[in-house]
Chain A
Amino acid sequence: MKKTADVIIIGGGIVGCAIAYYLTKKGVKDIMVLEGSDSIGHGGSSRNGGGVRQSGRDPRELPIAMAAVQKFWPTLSEELGRDVEYTQKGNLRLGKTEAHMKKLQALADSCAAGGLKLDMISGDEVRKISPYMSEDVMGASFCPTDGHANPLVATLAYYLKDIELGVHFYTGAMVEALEKVKGKVRKVILKDGTVLEGGEVVVAAGYDSRRIINTIGLDIPMTPLVDCALVTEMEPEMFPQMLGTAAADFYGHQTKHGSFVFGSESGLEEFIDVKDPNDMRIQHPATLGASCRAIEGWIPALAKAKIVRSWSGILDMTKDGVCVLGRPKEADGLVLACGFNGHGFGTAPAVGYIIAQTIVGEDPICDINPLRYERFYEV
């Protein structure tokens, strides 16, 4: 294998693949992507609900989410030469109680402050948009510019395009440690002992990023959280919106294929003892039942939909709920793109572009200073 590259990206998820793609667009030729597992997109990239949302985003992340929707998603299928199933038909965040509606209003206000318009609509208006919703739905916030895409295909679409563009990919390439050379992060040591050297080293490895940067004395306060999802068999076309609730008990959408993909959990998942954050097999016995109850409670019409599979993934939950982007001051040569808290898919194209800009020395299209690594350590 190659032993050096201008840029070494650790993590073959959608973020890593997107960074590689936009780097090639910026003219960087020699890029190496290291995926620890045997499959590209093995982590959260292929395990999320496919939301491409701006609504509900933290003000620090909102500009990136909006940039993703405005500048990247609409043309992504064309650009990558594969249908990533991007659908921009809005996001409904549903509420059933007064408390829910208050929460939704607060979210709408916060979005408005960031320049994103959300409509507060009544239960009847919700059912006009989507007649399958429960009569219990009191109202919703509706963000017409939100939507969803297929995370499984989108991740691999970036990857396959990267391959065409000459990016060097290695799977089963688990990173053991980073090493500095003359004060600059340069060496990447693999589990099998292979030593690689990169002009720049990008860490985009989900929760495992923490272990990797620990080896050069950096740390991000984050925890691994097991998150679960399920998919039904294909159903007739029912609604094109991305769905979420004020109770945060489920989210998801109907895919182009017809199946429904929903993320949901029982609340007991956070007590799962995650022994290996790279092992995604773990599931909680309460999840399936609680998820079904939640979904059926909002969309009674799906009571007969057959669930064919469920799965789980590991979220990288940071202390303050948003990701870490950019160059840590104390580690020259290192670029971070991790800690996405489960929001990484929708923003991935913009994040990929911004990190590529950071690497080639351009001013990023969004201000990533609030997402800097140092924020955890500033008084």
Chain B
Amino acid sequence: MLDIEEKLKEIGPYVPEDDDDLLVCRCEEVTKGEIRQALHSGITTIEELRRLLRCGMGLCQGQTCGTLTRRLVAKELHIKPNDVVLATARTPMRPVDMGVGGNDRGLEEDAVKGGLR
């Protein structure tokens, strides 16, 4: 269980750093400073970070920045990087065109244009 208030007291307020303008997530152009500010205002998980700032939500789905974000979260929240839970992996593992996704050989023909219902 995490007491958010206690955690915020422990890590202290957001203090700007020289390299806060450094990009962490290049797909969605999210900076270190934005992530740090979020963490010092009550965000405590990568899941929440992704939702608030979109970091790791772009084309590569955090393949590039996942480790960078995890390290940053660990540092700011005073926890071990391995204790920072990564985002859930989801289909598709690689971006898929809507048209290709719909061209699904597994579905019956009458499933075309209108779901299976």
Contacts and interface: CB of A to CB of B under 8 A. Distances in A.
A–B contact at 8 Å CB threshold (below)? yes
Interface of A: 1, 38-42, 46, 152-153, 155-156, 159-160, 163-164, 168-173, 190, 192, 194, 231-233, 247-250, 257, 264-268, 280-281, 283, 285-286, 288-297, 302-311
A266 B116 contact: yes
Contacts of A233: 58-59, 95
Contact of A293 (B47, B59, B107): B107
Given A41-B48, A163-B4, A307 B101 contact: yes
B72 interface: no
Given A267-B116, A297-B112, A156 B43 contact: yes
Contact of A296 (B54, B98, B116): B98
Given A152-B52, A153-B52, A286-B107, A304 B116 contact: no
Q: Which 3 A-B pairs have the closest CB atoms?
A: A289-B104, A297-B113, A292-B102
A267 B117 contact: yes
Interface in B35-80: 41-45, 47-48, 51-52, 54, 57-59, 61
Contacts of A311: 88, 90
Instruction: Report whether over half of chain B's contact residues are helix, strand or loop; otherwise say mixed.
Output: loop
A168 B5 contact: yes
Instruction: For chain B, give the interface size range.
Output: 35 or more
A172 B1 contact: yes
A160 B42 contact: yes
B5 A306 contact: no
Given A289-B106, A303-B102, A308-B59, 17 more contacts: A39-B44, A39-B45, A39-B47, A39-B48, A153-B51, A171-B2, A233-B59, A264-B115, A266-B107, A266-B111, A266-B117, A286-B104, A289-B107, A290-B111, A293-B107, A295-B102, A296-B113
Contacts of B117: 247-249, 266-267
A160 B41 contact: yes
A290 B103 CA distance: 9
20 contacts: A39-B45, A156-B48, A160-B43, A163-B41, A168-B5, A171-B44, A171-B45, A172-B2, A250-B115, A286-B107, A288-B104, A290-B104, A293-B102, A293-B104, A294-B113, A303-B99, A305-B98, A307-B95, A307-B97, A308-B57
